Chain A
Amino acid sequence: MTGMEIFGITPAYAQAIEVSGLSSAGESITLLGLFWQAGPVVKAVMIGLLLASIWSWAIIFDKIFLFMRTRRQLNRFEKVFWSGQSLEELYRSLVDRSTTGMGALFVAAMREWKKSFERGANSPIGLHMRIEKAMDVALARETERLESRLMFLATVGASAPFIGLFGTVIGIMTSFQAIAGSKSTNLAVVAPGIAEALLATALGLLAAIPAVVAYNKFSNDVAKTTARLEGFADEFSAILSRQIDEKTRSQAAE
């Protein structure tokens, strides 16, 4: 008996749900519909997150190209440097161009070397220290260039989920206020508001995930490149130091 009654109720209930679902489903479930439905705060959050995503992807593309270029340059310079070519010639070919990476280090060191010998500075220890300083400065400048804007990626990666969550909370809050106002607890009333609010969280995650991944990869790349540059600086400083010693000994012999 009771089973039959329950059975009898079910189809009508299902039908009611279906009808209400159809009426509200058609127009508002697309992304644009969800966006236009949202309140101003949620809209602002979504636009902000979209901009952050655009900017972080710009940085990501920029860094990808930068590191590709840097790696290529380093390889080429190392090949040239260790090819037995005269350092004077190399310096002369590089000094006119704007150089980056190892070239910048090399040019900075050679410039200091040249200046010291042209002016007739004879203290070998002072010359060595000056060359090292010049290369340190050049190295710091290079590292700074490589690292620039990486902090933005870190910031987006850390804060975008929270910003999206903020938008979601605001959206759900307003949609619950609307439910309280309409005094209807039908799921069809609640669902669009919640979906629209969740879009903010989705955007936040969409911005944050690539930013975090890219930040980790790029900081790793920066560390590797910096280590390579430091290694080159040390080697070059050793070469120059040997040369200084040889020159001073030959000068003393004369």
Chain B
Amino acid sequence: MKGSVTLSSMAHVAVLAWGLFSLSGPKPLVVADVEALPIDIVPIEDISRAVQGEKKADLTEKPAPTPTSRPPVDAEARNVGEAKNDKFSEREPKPDNRVPDNQRSEEPPPSADPTPAPDVAPDPIKELVEKNEPTPTTELAALNEPPVPVTEEPTPEAKPEEDAAAEENFPELPKSAPVPEARPKPRSAETTDRKKPEEKPKQRQTASSDDKKSTEDKIANLLLNKEQAAASGAKRSTDQASLGTRQSSNAARLSQSEMDALRSQIQECWNPPAAIGAEELRVSVRFKLDQNGMVDGSPQIMESSGNQAADESARRAVLRCGQQGYRLPAEKYEAWRDVVVNFDPSQLF
């Protein structure tokens, strides 16, 4: 036994010694070489959704509408196309054509004095004090008898000089004229000031009634979009036309919660007619909404349930809720401008 014990101890010592000197711990883990891969979650929606392009063109890598002839002018414009057809530039003033009209000939050239309107409008009180504004009553008179004052004598400033000194007079006129008509109403409390110049208004009325036409025109003129067609801003496309839809549908879709919100809004207004089976109540209503969430036009029954009362109840629900306007995210207007709502009572009850 002694021999065995010594043999065993020697074996253990040998093994431990070997372990101590040859098993000198594992190599430390090297972590630095591992590179983390950046992972982005890409929704397939972005790819599968239609992109703006041309419906009948060949498919290319990048969809694009038909190229337009002019170079890009305004990147801010909304629609792709020719600027001529752009709605915003249609009502362009044409000063040359209107010359024969005697009153309008006095108009200042559009660029001559665009400032008066902005100058006058923000500061009506100053004008009141300086120029003895007519009271509301005087303004009414002016409105009632516009044809009379034209022939009357007290229009010395405006009439005689219409041919010769048109250019000199106009800097004066816009300042005096446009104000009285525009701002008198809210000032009814300040009548004490206005009673004083009793004699002058007579002249003034006539003058202003005469001026009125011209100033109205002027105002209208000022309000008009006078930019050149080229600058009115159509977004230009320079790429080759390729397959795509007419309108880009890249506008964000309504999320599930937003759809739920719309659904619940409509649901609140819906009183499904009693005594009709759930099967008969399936109605599909299509309606358009404007930017404010108001129903635009009349809702249209896409799929009738076959039951008149049920159809009408669905339509009423849409209209009633639309009275206050649907609360929807404004930035996703593209997604909800045209809505189809399926009324299905099996989800309701």
Contacts and interface: CB of A to CB of B under 8 A. Distances in A.
13 contacts: A3-B38, A3-B40, A6-B36, A6-B38, A10-B36, A11-B32, A14-B31, A15-B32, A26-B28, A55-B8, A58-B1, A58-B8, A62-B3
Contact of B28 (A3, A10, A25): A25
**Top 9 A-B pairs, shortest CB-CB distance:** A29-B25, A3-B38, A62-B4, A58-B8, A57-B8, A10-B36, A61-B4, A58-B5, A25-B28
B17 to A, nearest CB: 10
Interface string A3-24: 1101100110011011001100
Task: Name the prevailing secondary structure of the B interface residues.
Answer: loop
A18 B31 contact: yes
Interface in A202-231: none
Contacts of B1: 58, 62
B8 A14 contact: no
Interface residues of A, number: 31
Nearest to A32: B20
B12 A50 contact: yes
Contacts of A6: 36, 38
B9 interface: yes
Contact of B25 (A3, A4, A30): A30
B220 interface: no
A55 B5 contact: yes
B26 interface: yes
A31 interface: yes
Nearest to B9: A54
Nearest to A15: B32
A201 interface: no
Given A21-B31, A55-B5, A55-B8, 16 more contacts: A2-B40, A18-B32, A22-B28, A25-B25, A29-B26, A30-B20, A31-B20, A54-B12, A57-B8, A57-B12, A58-B4, A58-B5, A58-B7, A59-B4, A60-B4, A62-B3
B23 interface: yes
Interface string A23-48: 00110011111000000000000000
B278 interface: no
Interface of B: 1, 3-5, 7-9, 11-12, 16, 19-20, 23-26, 28-32, 34-36, 38-40
Contacts of B12: 50, 53-54, 57
Given A14-B32, A31-B19, A61 B39 contact: no
Interface string A73-104: 00000000000000000000000000000000
Contact of A3 (B26, B34, B39): B39
A30 B11 CA distance: 20
B35 A10 contact: yes
A65 B4 CA distance: 9
B117 to A, nearest CB: 46
Contacts of A10: 35-36
A11 B32 CA distance: 7
B221 to A, nearest CB: 49
Contact of A58 (B9, B19, B31, B34): B9
A30 B24 contact: yes
Contacts of B29: 21
Contacts of B4: 58-62, 65
B15 to A, nearest CB: 9
A10 B40 CA distance: 16
Contacts of B40: 2-3
A7 B28 contact: no
Contact of B34 (A14, A33, A57, A59): A14
Contacts of A60: 4, 8
In this complex, the member of B19, B20, B25 whose beta carbon has the largest number of chain A beta carbons within 10 angstroms is B25
Contacts of B30: 18
Given A3-B38, A10-B36, A18-B31, A54 B8 contact: yes
Contacts of B34: 14
A61 B8 contact: yes
A32 B1 CA distance: 30
A16 to B, nearest CB: 9
A57 B24 contact: no
Nearest to B34: A14
A10 B39 CA distance: 13
A32 B67 CA distance: 80
A21 B31 CA distance: 9
Given A30-B25, A31-B23, A17 B36 contact: no
Contacts of A62: 1, 3-4
Contacts of A55: 5, 8
In this complex, the member of B11, B16, B38 whose beta carbon has the largest number of chain A beta carbons within 10 angstroms is B38
Contacts of A50: 12
A57 B28 contact: no
A64 to B, nearest CB: 9
